[in-house]
Amino acid sequence: MNNIIKSVIETSKYVFERKLVSGKAGNVSARFKNEDMDVIAITPTLKSLNRLNESDIVLVDINGKNLTKGKPSSEVFMHLAIYKSRNDVDGIVHTHSPYATGFSFSNEKIKRLEGFGAIKTEYLPELKYEKPGSSDLAHGAAEKLGQEDVLVLKNHGIIAIGETVHEAGDLAEFVEEIAKTQYITKILNK
């Protein structure tokens, strides 16, 4: 199996097992070069990330044209917009992990801690609510992720990106952990 497809399947299973996604939610992708062409391996729509096989992973080109059978995630254009704007990014994980998503539905922001690279602002960046699967979400997310590796999508979830899809998965887990810690701290301080 192509190593990139393998890493997409592994990361999908990992984020499911770590309870960052459940049911058929969430999506994972990685980019690789085939000759000179950018190819994106992405999880399919309407399938649990817990049990994906090689044949479930959909390959598309950078403009979203299918290179294999299957229907890619409904957020495929969000992934493509991010890859187009970030040459240094080859892996993307999108989750609705409960604590981070809870923050996204509230007026509280997730504090930026060490581990997110250079600390620029006090809180993780947020994108105002845009309809899932829309081109406004795709372009808004790509723009906000210009200088960032994590984005909170208001009333929706989070996106984590990295040089590899494994890195993006680790970052998605880290975001959930700090959201959980921040939540617990808030309750204890009440």
* Residues in contact with Zn ion by the rule CB under 5 A: 157
Token reading at 130 = 């845009």
Q: Percent helix, strand, coil in the chain (nearest 5)?
A: 35, 20, 40
Instruction: Pick between residue 54 and residue 136 the one whose CB is nearest to Zn ion.
Output: 136
Residue closer to Zn ion by CB (options 23, 117) is: 23
What is the smallest separation between the CB atom of 46 and Zn ion, expressed in angstroms?
13
Angle at which helices 165-188 and 3-17 cross, to 10°: 10
On whether the CB atoms of residues 56 and 47 are closer than 8 A, the answer is yes
Q: What's the token pair of residue 40?
A: 């994106």
125 vs 157, which CB is nearer to Zn ion? 157
Q: Which residues contact 184 (CB under 8 A, 6 or more apart)?
A: none
- Among 75, 148, 173, 176, the one annotated catalytic: 75
Backbone Cα Rg of the chain:
16
Question: Residue 141's closest CA among 101, 85, 88?
Answer: 85
CB of 118 to Zn ion, least distance (A): 27
> Does 75 qualify as catalytic in the annotation?
yes
Output 86 or 156, the one with its CB closest to Zn ion.
156
Distance between CA atoms of 96 and 106, rounded to whole angstroms?
14
- CB nearest Zn ion: which residue? 157
Catalytic residue positions? 75
